[in-house]
Amino acid sequence: MDFLNELNANQREAVANTEGPALVIAGAGSGKTRVLTYRIANLLSKGIPAYKILALTFTNKAAREMQKRISQLVGSENAANLWMGTFHSIFSKILRFEAEKLGYTSNFTIYDTQDSKNLIKAIIKDLKLDDKTYKPNDVLGRISMAKNNLITAQAYAQSSRITTADAAARKPMIAEIYKHYQMRCRQSDTMDFDDLLLQTNILFRDFPEILDKYQQKFNYILVDEYQDTNYSQYLIIKKLSERHHNLCVVGDDAQSIYSFRGARIENILNFRNDYPDYRLFKLEQNYRSTTTIVEAANSIINKNKEQIPKRVFSENEEGEKIKILRALSDKEEGFQVTNEIFKLANYEQQEYCDFAILYRTNAQSRILEEALRKRNIPYKIYGGQSFYQRKEIKDLLAYFRLSVNQNDEEAFKRIINYPRRGIGDTTIDKIREIAQQHRVSMWTVLCNLEKVAGSFNNSSLTKLNNFRLLIEKFAERSQEENAYDVACTIVQSSGITDDLSNDSTPEGVSRKENIQELLNAIKDFSETAYKEGFSDKLATFLEGVALLTDQDTEKPGDDNKVTLMTIHAAKGLEFPNVFITGIEEELFPAQQCASNPQALEEERRLFYVALTRAEKKVVMSYATTRYRNGQIISTRPSRFIAEIDPHFLDGFIAPRQETSPFNFKTTSPFRKPVSETLAPVHTTPLPDIGSSKLKPIEPNSVIPGMILFHPTFGTGKVLSLEGLGVNKKAKMFFNKEGTKTLLLKFAKLFIQED
């Protein structure tokens, strides 16, 4: 075990103590992946069989890197058979083994977000609902949040609290959409991403013998990025570790930033309550960043109340102070940031890939892109359309999916008339109607055309039968041949090759190249699958594609370019130089978070994540005016700049004053005091509150600055309060209605849930 000598004292302690529950708090850049990797290597070197170890990550990339490093430490043979991968990949593997118990086949397919949106869109149309009221994206978000909290469609409809909130948001039919969505998924023998977790929970709940089997199987469980786990993931981990109690979770509460996805910071904060006999290990040395960056990040995160105390430090060089850029407009901000990058790249001989520009919202990227283009600086947008989301790739993947699972409705609809084979929308709609009438899949209707022959003319019947025979041929081959051979057959026989060959435009050439690139990927998979312990069949390849994450689809060819991304997307990454843009009140922190203490703490954690992505240099920028909602508005620097110890800053900073962010009668560090006798004037349009997370608010809990929802007037901001007890009134600004004074005991106001 010589490799233990490669660790510092704290890391070594976390690696060596393998028995019982353990919480490893790993500050930014402190080597948490290293600790996880070496801990697994240590278990293997003690003779623990690899198949007894379960390691859960959030990206396939992290799992692959850990697997590779473990193999180097203890040998590839010793590391083989580890159960290591993302939550979704591991639990989909378990579900395939146990699918029949839940009423699925082992060949179920996995819907991506776009497939789910398309299905919801179709259901909204079938139910004759207004797609402007029931936006597919919002509905999917609501369903996803329900699943992550283990609320099934049936439970959703039976919850008066949930349905009341939906009704208040004027979306009373979400429960019905959710019911139809799950029914259609079952008919299609498909699961979405959230189902992989929900169905695993249901499996362990309803089949205790199955839970017992996996409890016995996994003697040691390790979890990466534990602060990002949702309730569903938390419960699975808790159940699986009940027998042996050898659970090691690694994370950083200061980097919990995904509550909008259902992540719960409580999971890591309350670990000691769940496992009273736990051991705590703190990794506090940052190996990534300069001392200045680390201390600046400490000075801001210390303002949060909900956290596990730690003092991150660095023994690296002191480094430069954090530079502050002040621009008169968002357009000028773009040019200032770009000029700074240009100077550093040319005068200090730095590569463009050494720079990252981070922003709070995707909408900020447009101006930054324009500025980069004018300077001829190459850039890439991280998290843009991935290779597997391109139309031609989605089309071909739909053929693959239908060959593996003929009940897959979204794949069926996508390719039944692609390439064009004379099967019109009327015919497809008829098949869908018959399928829904009999609660079967569209494929089942296709296989029983003789029973509904009167619904179609002879020409349509011929074309439909030809399509069925084509897919049956592909399905047969997919069972017998490897993925690459089947894929080549499908590309040739489906007509896709002929369709693309007729398009000689640059776009058409690009589409053909993309198809070839996909075939190259399948060939590589087919040649290496067995060596890595996987089947070489098409179904296995499809599962790998379905479970890819954003970081897994990054193209290695995008080498020397400036990276643009949201701060959320930047988590887990690092760059020599980081630019954090739009550091303004109502943008960062976001407007809807400013009056909610818990939401504000998460915004501060997000700011901490942004700072700690940098190795050498941080530049922060803000504009004094910004174009928003069709008009130019005045802005002021974010409170987060004032919260950083000024010793670490370089640039103009307005005088700091100790203020409470929730006391609207105090003086802002960047703003002249408002007369206490006047209610603040509010003219900026308010963003709509997401109706998926609403709960009633008590009159005594209402304070100035809150963004609330009124069933009649919509989203409003509390400007001031007057009166006491039952006579308490709130003066509120609403986008459409302007200023209103409401008697709170009758107002029926709602707030967004945390």
Which tokens is 129 given?
A: 């609902």
Rounded to an integer, the average pLDDT of 56-67 is: 87
State the pLDDT confidence band at 177, using cuts at 50, 70 and 90: very high
Secondary element (H or E) of residue 87: helix 87-98
Radius of gyration of the chain (CA): 28
Nearest to 318 by CA among 650, 653, 652, 648: 648
pLDDT above 50 (res 369): yes
SS3 track for 517-565 = HHHHHHHHHHHHCHHHCCCCCHHHHHHHHHCCCHHHHCCCCCCCCEEEE
DSSP 368-383: HHHHHHHTT--EEETT
32, 264, 511, 605: which one is catalytic? 32
Distance CA 495, CA 229 (A): 44
Q: Which of 112, 225, 543, 584 is catalytic?
A: 225
- Apex CA 590: angle with CA 585 and CA 593, to 5°? 110
Tens digits of per-residue pLDDT, 266-293?
A: 999 999 999 999 999 999 999 999 999 9
Q: Which residues, in sequence order, are CB contacts of 676 under 8 Å at separation 6+?
A: 665
Identify whether 225 is a catalytic site residue: yes
Closest CA to 193 of 124, 264, 117: 117
List 587's β-bridge partners, or say none. 590
Q: Which of 147, 613, 617, 731 is catalytic?
A: 613
pLDDT at 518 over 70: yes
Catalytic site includes residue 616: no
User: Does residue 678 register a pLDDT over 80?
Assistant: no
pLDDT for 510: 80
At how many degrees (to 10) do helices 391-404 and 538-546 cross?
130
Residue ranges with strand state E in 366-514: 379-381
Model pLDDT for residues 8-47, shown as the tens digit of each residue: 999 999 999 999 999 999 999 998 889 999 999 999 999 9
- Give me the pLDDT at residue 733, please: 86
Q: How far apart are CA 436 and CA 439, in angstroms?
A: 5
Measure the CA–CA gap between 530 and 524, rounded to whole angstroms: 11
Helices 208-217 & 231-240, crossing angle to 10 degrees?
70
State residue 270's pLDDT score.
Answer: 92
Q: What is the pLDDT of residue 268?
A: 95
Distance in angstroms (rounded) separating the CA atoms of residues 296 and 641:
10
Report whether pLDDT(248) > 50.
yes
- What is the per-residue pLDDT across 531-589, written as a single tens digit (0 to 9) for each? 777 889 999 999 888 887 655 555 555 578 999 999 999 998 999 999 999 999 999 99
- Look up 224 and say whether it is catalytic: yes
Q: Quick one: DSSP state of residue 285?
A: B
Burial of 130 (0-12, 13-18, 19+ CB in 10 A): exposed
Q: What distance in Å separates the CA atoms of residue 473 and residue 490, rounded to the nearest whole number?
A: 10
Active-site choice (33, 190, 200, 635)? 33
Told to judge if 32 belongs to the known catalytic residues of this protein, a careful annotator would answer: yes
Query: Do you find a cis peptide bond into 655, omega within 30 degrees of 0?
Result: no
Distance CA 543, CA 539 (A): 6
pLDDT classification of 73: cutoffs 50, 70, 90: confident
Please report, to the nearest 10 degrees, the dihedral formed by the alpha carbons of residues 645, 650, 653, 659 taken in order: -10
Decide if 306 is catalytic: no
Is 224 within 8 Å of 59 (Cβ atoms)? no
Of 112, 138, 192, 224, catalytic: 224
Catalytic member of 11, 109, 255, 563 = 255
pLDDT band (50, 70, 90) for residue 690: low
pLDDT confidence band for 386 (50 / 70 / 90): low
